[in-house]
């Protein structure tokens, strides 16, 4: 009914594009261009062998607009794939080829990606043939992997399932950008350190000419180890990738004139080449010139044998850069070259690279195995758990994959009983093992339960699908030793009784998330669905890279707060709701916050929007604490805030949500429920779409018992039954609300003032509610 009214009011209005539509309508920046819900199915129907055949035909079809070296494009596509996947860095999980962002700024204009626009153009006919059945990210990785195979190289398989982004916004922090400088500054480009992955912004790893352009192999070896290490590669993998990648193709630097303007500088004619014709023998890409081996279109370990069995001297090549050659060489050997980074493998101060080079030169099979494994890791590590891979994948999962044991055979436990036990413990219960907070004379664990679950879940990184509470690694080092987690060892002891009561049927990870969920519901939050089935890790491995990015410590500033939010994969609105909810229940504790204990609100055992009203109305003064952290106390009141809390008020893009939630408790409760459900399910996968909880039959709806029978008539699914109490109005009030809402919506559409009307429409409970399955029409059937 309402949909028809809206369409009649404005034929041009897209219901999905309403500004209050949340996740509907115009896709936000970075949202996959290929729908998550459909890509897995489309890819499953795709004949990848047919795609490979098309790629192999493309490799041998040299075209005049960009001729292939020696008639074969395969080495060109190895470079394309390497430079797409090689952007990954382990510090924050950013980079990699998922998203296919090499097509966009800033990556497409990096110096290391010069002329790769031609490689993507050559791929377009293949992409056009298969359309959305294969993403750009998958196609670019498949192209390089197939290229290696076509030249006789070893491959383990192909992990498909990358979802394309619609822009390059997820690469902004890779640089160069203001955002990168804020969270990962580089004082002198060429000497960049972690958290950046490369030593030089705009290059994939290091300067191949040597540190700061100086051809000093021993110093270059140190940079090679450092940079590859930041990207998760050990010494053997590093040498295998360099030798395997450089078994193919050549570098291009026909003259010193350069490649010409980048796509950012001249999008209509990028990299025209300023040497002669600019293509073929006149190509300028990196400024170096020549092949690494005498068989650049064929797999071999010649790279290592030639490196060991010849002397090498530095000289300035035709492109004007330092490179290395064999002195007085004749015949085919006179044409091969090495970069300073290649020569560095013979000058490792630690002596490790030299040993590996000799092993690979003497044992081709060992090299084959090492390269195949390292290439698969290079191409797949940004995909997260192995179960996200589709297509022909290597099995079993490798140690570098984040993985968990199988679900217990005793699963599931009796969820209503688990929930009842947690509810009893949340309020009015305390144990000497770890005493509860006391508010208004009543013991209260609810805040600690919620903070435990929040800390456990907020380790999730949507950048590379690591972290989250699945596995409950917060029980082990390093997570349990993080300062922000100091008290949770005690909270886990409180939960021991519940865990013991239900045994192996109940995992720690399910227990932690359900405890936080129950704490919110018990304190007045909206009923929330719960998706069980998490399993427990046996140790803390996998958490080494997940050091908290949202810690309220003294070094945290607004840029790091925003960066942590992005890595976690939540929007600003979701983040404000989550932080506000987490700081609504319970209090700060001296053991964590430095000789200050106290709540954020005057009702720390009630879940409401007081946190936001306090944030906007109270005057907070800085309080010095011995730990060095900054805490803030409300003037004349025993209410406290972290510095990170005050950022939500100070930053205008956060503040708009703070203001909305301060004015509208229902908006906060609904937003929190949606954000919490999203966060705690973010680490649940069964394919790249990450929709396990929508498909898994073990879902337990925690609020089902609280839903009135009449609501089932509204056509809601079991996961959508958690509606607010405001929908239980009598029929006359509901009909009035419906008519009033339709009238206001028509006026808003007609006048174009949709945003101005959002607040009033929300008060009428007349908004697009994605979590409810569509537009809310309160009791129209009453």
Please check the confidence at residue 507 and state whether its pLDDT lies above 80.
yes
**Letter string b/e over residues 545-577, b meaning 16 or more CB atoms within 10 A of that residue's CB:** bbebbbbbbeebebebbbbbbbbbbbbbbbbbb
The SS3 assignment for 96 reads coil
Please check the confidence at residue 628 and state whether its pLDDT lies above 80.
no
3-state helix, strand, coil in the chain (%, to 5): 50, 5, 45
Q: For the structural domain made of 415-695, what CATH number should be given?
A: 1.10.520.10
- Of residues 392, 423, 308, 390, the one with CA closest to residue 357: 308
Taking CA atoms, 710 is separated from 1, 271, 779, in Å, by 20, 66, 10
Domain(s) of CATH 1.10.520.10: residues in the chain: 415-695
Contacts (Cβ under 8 Å, ≥6 apart) of 242: 224, 341, 342, 345
Give the dihedral sign, CA 537/538/543/547.
Answer: positive
Please check the confidence at residue 393 and state whether its pLDDT lies above 80.
no
Element (H, E) at 227: helix 217-230
Q: What is the pTM of this model?
A: 0.83
Q: Would you call 694 exposed, middle or buried from its count of C-beta atoms within 10 A (0-12, 13-18, 19+)?
A: middle
Is 347 annotated in the active site? no
Taking CA atoms, 755 is separated from 7, 163, 748, in Å, by 18, 31, 8
Alpha helices, DSSP H, located in 363-414: 364-380
- Residue 44 binned pLDDT confidence (cut-offs 50, 70, 90): confident
Q: Which residue has the higher pLDDT, 508 or 16?
A: 508
Segment 582-610 mean pLDDT: 88
Alpha helices, DSSP H, located in 412-544: 415-426, 446-457, 488-502, 508-522
Q: How far from each other are the two terminal CA atoms of the chain, in whole angstroms?
A: 14
- Residue 727 binned pLDDT confidence (cut-offs 50, 70, 90): very low
Domain(s) of CATH 1.10.420.10: residues in the chain: 36-388
Q: Where are the beta strands (DSSP E) in 566-629?
A: 587-588, 598-599, 620-624
Contacts (Cβ under 8 Å, ≥6 apart) of 526: 669, 670, 672, 673, 703, 722, 724
Q: Rounded CA gap, 491 and 739, in Å?
A: 50
Segment 195-217 mean pLDDT: 96
Contacts (Cβ under 8 Å, ≥6 apart) of 440: 605
- Cβ(696)–Cβ(533) below 8 Å: yes
Rg (CA), the chain: 29
Total residue count of the chain as it appears in this document: 782
Catalytic hit among 65, 83, 583, 657: 83
Q: Kindly report, residue by residue over 514-557, the tens digit of the pLDDT.
A: 999 999 999 999 999 999 999 999 999 989 889 876 655 545 68
Alpha helices, DSSP H, located in 636-706: 643-650, 652-663, 665-681, 692-695
The SS3 assignment for 14 reads coil
Q: Rounded CA gap, 441 and 427, in Å?
A: 11
The SS3 assignment for 530 reads strand
Taking CA atoms, 301 is separated from 21, 164, 343, 364, 626, in Å, by 57, 35, 16, 6, 60
- Cβ(126)–Cβ(64) below 8 Å: no
| Distance from chain centroid for Cα 725 | 35
Percent of the chain predicted with pLDDT > 70: 81
Q: Rounded CA gap, 723 and 545, in Å?
A: 38
Query: Which CATH number is 36-388's, of 1.10.420.10, 1.10.540.10, 3.40.605.10, 3.40.1190.20?
Result: 1.10.420.10
Q: Kindly report, residue by residue over 240-260, the tens digit of the pLDDT.
A: 999 999 999 999 999 999 999
Quote the pLDDT of residue 734.
Answer: 39
Q: Rounded CA gap, 442 and 612, in Å?
A: 24
DSSP state of 408: P
Quote the pLDDT of residue 291.
Answer: 98
Q: Kindly report, residue by residue over 132-182, the tens digit of the pLDDT.
A: 999 999 999 999 999 999 999 999 999 999 999 999 999 999 999 999 999
Query: Which of 509-513, 671-675, 712-716, 773-777 comes out lowest in average pLDDT?
Result: 712-716
């Amino acid at each position: 009914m309402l949909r028809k009214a809206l369409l009649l009011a404005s034929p041009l209005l897209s219901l999905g594009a309403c500004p209050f539509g949340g996740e509907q309508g115009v896709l936000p920046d970075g949202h996959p261009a290929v729908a998550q819900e459909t890509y897995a199915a489309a890819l499953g129907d795709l004949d990848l062998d047919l795609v490979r055949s098309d790629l192999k035909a493309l490799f041998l079809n040299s075209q005049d607009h960009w001729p292939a070296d020696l008639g074969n494009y395969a080495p060109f596509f190895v470079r394309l794939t390497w430079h797409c996947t090689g952007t990954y860095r382990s510090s924050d999980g950013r980079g990699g080829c998922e998203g296919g962002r090499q097509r966009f700024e800033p990556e497409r204009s990096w110096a290391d990606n010069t002329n790769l626009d031609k490689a993507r153009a050559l791929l377009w006919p293949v992409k056009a043939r298969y359309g959305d059945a294969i993403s750009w990210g998958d196609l670019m990785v498949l192209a390089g992997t197939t290229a290696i195979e076509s030249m006789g190289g070893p491959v383990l398989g192909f992990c498909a399932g990358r979802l394309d982004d619609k822009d390059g916004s997820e690469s902004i922090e890779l640089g160069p950008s203001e955002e990168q400088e804020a969270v990962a500054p580089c004082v002198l480009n060429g000497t960049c350190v972690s958290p950046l992955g490369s030593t030089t912004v705009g290059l994939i790893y290091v300067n191949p000419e040597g540190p700061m352009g100086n051809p000093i192999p021993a110093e270059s070896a140190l940079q090679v180890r450092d940079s590859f290490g930041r990207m998760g590669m050990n010494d053997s993998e590093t040498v295998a990738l360099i030798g395997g990648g450089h078994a193919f193709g050549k570098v291009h630097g026909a003259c010193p004139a350069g490649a010409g303007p980048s796509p950012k500088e001249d999008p209509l004619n990028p990299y025209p080449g300023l040497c002669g014709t600019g293509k073929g023998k006149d190509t300028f890409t990196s400024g170096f010139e020549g092949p690494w081996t005498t068989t650049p279109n064929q797999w071999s370990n010649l790279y290592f044998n030639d490196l060991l069995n010849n002397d090498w001297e530095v000289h300035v090549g035709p492109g004007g850069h330092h490179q290395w050659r064999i002195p007085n060489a004749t015949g085919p050997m006179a044409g091969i070259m090495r970069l300073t980074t290649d020569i560095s493998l013979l000058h490792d101060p630690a002596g490790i690279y030299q040993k590996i080079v000799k092993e690979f030169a003497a044992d081709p099979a060992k090299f084959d195995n090492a390269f195949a494994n390292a290439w698969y890791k290079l191409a797949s590590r940004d995909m997260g758990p192995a179960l996200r891979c589709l297509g022909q994948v290597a099995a079993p999962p490798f140690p570098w994959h984040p993985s968990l044991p199988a679900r217990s055979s005793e699963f599931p436990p009796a969820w209503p009983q688990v929930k009842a036990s947690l509810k009893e413990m949340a309020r009015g219960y305390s144990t000497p093992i770890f005493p509860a907070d006391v508010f208004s004379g009543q013991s209260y664990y609810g805040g600690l339960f919620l903070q435990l679950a929040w800390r456990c879940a907020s380790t999730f990184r949507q950048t590379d699908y690591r972290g989250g509470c699945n596995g409950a690694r917060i029980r082990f080092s390093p997570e349990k030793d993080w300062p922000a987690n100091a008290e949770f060892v005690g909270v886990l002891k409180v939960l021991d009784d519940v865990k013991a009561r239900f045994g192996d049927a109940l995992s720690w990870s399910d227990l932690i998330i359900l405890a936080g969920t129950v704490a919110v519901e018990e304190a007045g939050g909206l009923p929330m669905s719960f998706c069980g089935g998490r399993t427990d890790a046996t140790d803390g491995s996998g958490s080494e890279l997940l050091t908290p990015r949202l810690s309220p410590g003294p070094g945290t500033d607004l840029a790091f707060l925003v960066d942590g939010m992005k890595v976690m994969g939540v929007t600003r609105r979701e983040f404000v709701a989550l932080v506000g909810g987490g700081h609504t229940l319970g209090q700060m504790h001296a053991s964590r916050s430095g000789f200050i204990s106290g709540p954020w609100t005057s009702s720390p055992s009630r879940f409401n929007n007081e946190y936001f009203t306090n944030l906007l109305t109270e005057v907070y003064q800085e309080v010095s604490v011995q730990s060095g952290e900054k805490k803030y106390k409300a003037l004349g009141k025993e209410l406290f805030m972290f510095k990170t809390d005050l950022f939500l008020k100070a930053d205008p893009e956060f503040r708009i949500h703070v203001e909305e939630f301060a004015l509208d408790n229902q908006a906060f409760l609904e937003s929190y429920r949606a954000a919490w459900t999203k966060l705690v399910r973010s680490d649940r996968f069964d394919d790249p779409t990450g929709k396990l909880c929508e498909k898994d039959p073990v879902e337990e709806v925690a609020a089902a018992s609280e839903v009135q029978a009449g609501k089932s008539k509204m056509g809601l699914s079991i996961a959508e039954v958690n509606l607010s109490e405001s929908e239980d109005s009598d029929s006359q009030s509901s009909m009035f609300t419906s008519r009033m809402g339709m009238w206001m919506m028509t006026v808003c559409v007609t006048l174009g003032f949709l945003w101005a009307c959002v607040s009033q429409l929300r008060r009428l409970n007349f908004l697009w509610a994605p979590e409810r399955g569509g537009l809310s029409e309160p009791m129209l059937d009453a």
